[in-house]
Amino acid sequence: MTIQELILQAIERLYAVEIPETMVQIQKTKKEFEGHLTLVVFPLLKLSKKNPEQTAIEIGEYLTKNQPLIAGFNVIKGFLNLTVSPVYWISVLNGIHQNPKYGTQEAPADSPLVMIEYSSPNTNKPLHLGHIRNNLLGFSISEILKATGNRVVKTNIVNDRGIHICKSMLAWKRWGEGETPESSGKKGDRLIGDYYVRFDREYKKELAELEAAGCTKKEAEERSPLMAEAREMLRQWEAGDCETVSLWEKMNAWVYAGFEETYKALGVDFDTIYYESQTYLEGKKKVLEGLKKGVFYRKDDGSVWADLTAGGLDEKLLLRADGTSVYMTQDIGTAKLRFDDYPIDKMVYVVGNEQNYHFQALSLLLDQLGFRFGKDLVHFSYGMVELPEGKMKSREGTVVDADDLIEEMICTAREISNELGKLDGCTEDEAREIAHTVGLGALKYFILKVDPRKNMVFNPKESIDFNGNTGPFIQYTYARIQSVLRKGGQQAFRQCVLDTTVNEKEVALIQMLSEFPIIVQEAADTFSPAVIANYIYDLVKEYNQFYHDYSILGETDEAVRTLRLILSENTAKVIRTGFQLLGIRVPERM
């Protein structure tokens, strides 16, 4: 029986009443107090009709007298601190050991279907550091929700049309001289990104000349020939002009090939991909239907708007005066197509917090259009990521390219691992594999350990530290445990003998391992991989202290040695499973 079940049984016997499990609030005993688990007594006072201390003492005395698994208790105000018998903790460890998928569960066929959108790149530039945080969060949240019994569809919406795409197209048409990824040796997404930067540079030059000729800034922006040409290209694209569409298809193909290479390097994937070019027309159709029904209205210039003031927002543009669509139009169309394609129970958008207003508006608009899923969509709003040097700007070419960062992390991991002797005795192939695993692990862990709702600063050097709260520190501990297990013979340790002597360090480790399923569920409930990341770090710290204080392979008592090997094996199992949920690999040797 679990401790919760023992307490429920005690309450039933003491007070002759059955209560729901939710009334039995158990938490880990604080380190400054004696005990392992603490019962919060306050919800039980109506049953006992006594004060908190008397109630706690009464329950504690009953448990120690009638339940051998409860070895002792103490009371601190309204909290009953229970000391649990070593036999219980050994049986918990045996249960963990016998479950190869401990901490996770399979999704039944009728479990909720959750669609998670992440990445959402534009085809006018390569993926950058901001995209990395987005992709890592989206992928990890998907894995965590799968591990808690949900069916999950990972999806991506590629923003492959719009004025920003036309800027890159126009710049390449004007100044590209037929340059291709093959002729330049550049990845396709990086090549197109260069022309996006070129457009901005030429546009600013044009504005400066117009302002020097006497125009105000606003007048210069309105009279810019370059911007007018980009807008005309967008109109031509939407009208299906063959030459414009052909150029768009060619340049987007270059970008897609580049994106795929980056996704593969980052270790993320998708079950289905939608393209704005295929969804915006559906969105325009729904907007025009809403206009016909009086849900939306048209202004004198021909543009179509929604009045969201009743929902606490303002008016929202849905179609421009020239009939071209905006992001919101596309999102309406994409939402409709997704729910046509899948019986989705929950839709989660992993998008930065600068889009909070957009998703509040989208929720209201979908609801106004009669979509049942409108009010229930989830915008997983995460914070921005910056470098120590500050913010990045795509148009000015000051972003950190994702491919460059990945390569830098792997190279740095190789250098530091060499300096510390972590690669001694490794073949070149092994060293290359370890550097890749450690470099990517450092990058992913450093980003995912931060509360996703907070802004963060990514420091590459700090992330590849083999000490402290870093990926490499945890990976090295995992590799150390694997070494211990290999030296221990890697025999099939079936289970621990229940009367084996255990010390407080071992009990603390077992108790931490027992919390893993709760941690995974908390991460799912809060959409926060950081919950798992920081739990794994605390587990590793606890294990390293145990490893430092007690011999494993040198232990002469066979039962104790077996327990410590099983404890080590299952600590490694939880590290491996936890890191898998973060999308991070662990090295078997290091």
Looking at every residue in the chain, the average pLDDT score rounds to 93
**Cα 422 to Cα 418: distance, rounded to the nearest angstrom:** 6
Q: Could you give the dihedral angle defined by the CA atoms of residues 580, 583, 589 and 590, in that order, rounded to the nearest 10 degrees?
A: -130
pLDDT tens for 254-286 read 999 999 999 999 999 999 999 999 998 999 999
Q: Of 26, 45, 22, which is closest to residue 37 (Cα–Cα)?
A: 26
**Cα 134 to Cα 112: distance, rounded to the nearest angstrom:** 23
Walk across the sheet containing 25-28 and list its strands.
25-28, 37-40, 79-84, 70-76
**Cα 586 to Cα 579: distance, rounded to the nearest angstrom:** 8
Q: What's the half-sphere exposure (Cβ side, CA atoms, 13 Å) at 473?
A: 20
Predicted model pTM: 0.91
Q: What is the pLDDT of residue 387?
A: 76
pLDDT at 523 over 60: yes
pLDDT at 515 over 70: yes
Full set of structural domains in the chain with CATH:
3-84 (3.30.1360.70), 118-386 (3.40.50.620), 438-581 (1.10.730.10)
Q: What is the mean pLDDT of residues 516-537?
A: 97
pLDDT tens for 187-225 read 999 999 999 999 999 999 999 999 999 999 999 999 999
Identify whether the C-beta of residue 291 lies closer than 8 Å to the C-beta of residue 297: yes
pLDDT tens for 550-588 read 999 999 999 999 999 999 999 999 999 999 999 999 999
Residues listed for the chain: 590
Identify whether the C-beta of residue 91 lies closer than 8 Å to the C-beta of residue 43: no
pLDDT tens for 420-473 read 888 888 899 999 999 999 999 999 999 999 999 999 998 888 888 888 899 999
Query: Across the strands, what pairs with 381?
Result: 351
Q: Could you give the dihedral angle defined by the CA atoms of residues 195, 198, 204 and 206, in that order, rounded to the nearest 10 degrees?
A: -90
pLDDT tens for 330-370 read 999 999 999 999 999 999 999 999 999 999 999 999 999 98
Least confident of 52-61, 146-155, 414-423: 414-423
Q: What is the pLDDT of residue 496?
A: 87
User: Beta-carbon neighbour count of residue 480 at 10 Å?
Assistant: 17
Q: What's the half-sphere exposure (Cβ side, CA atoms, 13 Å) at 542?
A: 21
Cβ neighbors of 336 (< 8 A, separation 6 or more) are: 282, 283, 286, 371
Q: Where do we find the tokens 């126009």?
A: 170
Give the 3-state DSSP-derived string for 87-128, with helices as H, strands as E and coil as C: HHHHHHHHHHHCCCCCCCECCCCCCCEEEEECCCCECCCCCE
Identify whether the C-beta of residue 35 lies closer than 8 Å to the C-beta of residue 81: yes
Cβ neighbors of 26 (< 8 A, separation 6 or more) are: 3, 4, 7, 37, 38, 39, 40
Q: What's the half-sphere exposure (Cβ side, CA atoms, 13 Å) at 468?
A: 10
pLDDT at 487 over 50: yes
pLDDT at 397 over 50: no
Q: Of 410, 445, 140, 158, which is closest to residue 265 (Cα–Cα)?
A: 410
The pair phi, psi for residue 304, each rounded to 5°, is -110, 135
Q: What is the mean pLDDT of residues 12-38?
A: 93
% of the chain exceeding 90 in pLDDT = 84
Q: What is the pLDDT of residue 492?
A: 61
Q: Where do we find the tokens 């210069």?
A: 220
Helix (H) or strand (E) holding 231: helix 225-238
Q: What is the pLDDT of residue 480?
A: 95
Q: Which three-class secondary structure state does DSSP give residue 111?
A: coil
Q: How confident is the model at residue 376 (pLDDT cuts 50, 70, 90)?
A: confident
pLDDT at 31 over 50: yes
In angstroms and rounded to an integer, the radius of gyration of the C-alpha atoms of the chain is: 29
**Cα 365 to Cα 306: distance, rounded to the nearest angstrom:** 8
Q: What is the pLDDT of residue 394?
A: 43
Q: Report which of residues 539 and 396 the model is more confident about.
A: 539
